[in-house]
Amino acid sequence: MTSIFNGSIPQASRFHMSSAPQDAISGRSRGPIEAIANAIADLGALTIDWVTALGDMILFALRTFSWMFSRLPRRETLVPSLYQIGVLSLPVVALTGTFIGMVLAVQSYSQFRAMGLETRLGAVINLTLVRELGPVLAATMLAGRVGSAMAAELGTMRVTEQIDALVSMGTNPLQYLVVPRFLACLLLIPSLTIMADFMGVAGGYFYSVYILNIDWFHYWDNSQRFVGTYDLFTGVFKSLFFGAAIAIVSCHRGFNCSPGAEGVGRAATAAFVYSFVLILILDLFLGILLDAIYYSIWSDVPSLI
């Protein structure tokens, strides 16, 4: 009674009156039209973000190409990149290629033996390696070992303002940081691909001949009949595009790194994921193009069966 006569409202009454409109608003369920509109808006925002990122990456690549053709990097910046990307990647690429050749022999032997074509195993293993698995695996190892490292290194330089310091000293960061890494990836990934092919062929031969007891003469004879120079050229040619894509994506992610340690980790992860997806996309379209060229030149292709 005292609170009423004094002109004030009790605490419980004030809480009930103020919360009633909010409960009504929060309890109102969204209609289907509003949910569809929000989904379309989210999809549109995602599309705009992807298109913006793609356009920014293309402009980044064009600026890198312009600096690469206008002035070559200095020896002290190019040689460490060649060593880091090429020499230090050889062991993991060689080990991966060896076991991939053995895995192909294990998985293909039972099917070919059921058809009485186990001597054709060498052609299948070697053709698969030089055309597809060799360049793709070499590029995947390069993206995982080198691409993530480049993104993390450049991202750390961006976060600690070292790139801004280079700009303030009159040095172009693309010419000093990106061009050496791009050239190293572009020039050395064919060698890594050939190493993966060689070790895969050696691993497949060892398991097929010494473990599965396949005749070595027919193994190599079928390989020579069905695997040609164009097949090896196909794998090496595709690897050039893979190396360029890894370098551009990794350096772009590092240059556009978000602040903080979390941003550096995200840049390294995104560099590998985007590079791997781009490798598969390039492999599909380049494979279609190179196969069309091959069949237009050589129409009488021998069959494995």
131: closest CA among 214, 219, 196? 196
Taking each continuous run of H as one helix and of E as one strand, the counts in the chain are 14, 0
Sequence letter at residue 11: Q
Distance (Å, whole) CA 46 – CA 60: 21
- Mind listing the pLDDT tens digit for each residue in 155-176? 998 888 888 888 888 888 888 8
User: For residue range 10-67, what is the model confidence (pLDDT) as tens digits?
Assistant: 444 443 444 444 444 444 556 788 888 888 888 888 888 888 888 888 898 899 888 8
What was the pLDDT predicted at 23?
43
Q: Spell out the residues 6+ positions from residue 180 whose beta carbon is closer than 8 angstroms to its own.
A: 73, 77, 78, 80, 81
Write down the pLDDT at residue 276. Answer: 94
Confidence check: pLDDT of 196 > 80: yes
- Residue closest to 139 by CA, chosen among 95, 192, 84: 192
d(CA 29, CA 25): 9
> Could you give phi then psi for residue 225, rounded to 5 degrees?
-70, -35
What would the pLDDT profile of 125-147 be if each residue is shown by its tens digit? 898 899 889 999 999 999 998 99
Contact by Cβ (8 Å): 168, 207: no
Q: What is the pLDDT of residue 5?
A: 39
Confidence (pTM): 0.80
54 φ, ψ (degrees, to nearest 5) = -65, -45
Statement: residue 228 has pLDDT above 90: no
> What is the per-residue pLDDT across 55-71, written as a single tens digit (0 to 9) for each?
888 898 899 888 888 88
